[in-house]
Structure 1
Amino acid sequence: MPRCTHCDGHVSDDFVRVFAAEDGQVRACPNCAANAGIAEVSRDRGRKA
């Protein structure tokens, strides 16, 4: 079951397919980031990791 690495919230396989980083990790999800900015938040968190 895929999880957000930031908040440990559940995400769907489709969400992972669209928003996961190149390493397959989801660093932002609707539980911990504004829906309009998920891609940007994920990218920023990935740079800090």
Structure 2
Amino acid sequence: MSHCNHCDAFVSSDFVRVFGDHEGRVYACPSCSANAGISQVSAERRASSL
């Protein structure tokens, strides 16, 4: 089962495929980010976790 690495909420495999990184990690989801900004927030959180 997939989950958001930021808030630990469930995310579907389709969501991971679209918004996850190449290792299947998701850094933002509808539970912790506005729908319009998920891609941007995800990229920012991914960069800060490196």
- Which TM-score band (shorter chain)? over 0.9
Whether 1:46 aligns to 2:46 is: yes
C-alpha distance after superposition, 1:16-48 (max 9, x if no partner): 010001222000000000000000000000000
| RMSD, aligned CA | 0.6
TM-score by length of 1: 0.95
Gaps of 5+ in 1: none
Write the distance in 2 (CA, Å) between the matches of 1:28 and 1:22.
Answer: 15
- Percent of pairs with identical residues: 55
In the superposition, the TM-score normalised over structure 2's length comes to 0.93
4+ residue runs over 2 A deviation = none
Report the more deviating stretch, 35-44 or 19-28. Answer: 19-28
Aligned residues: 49
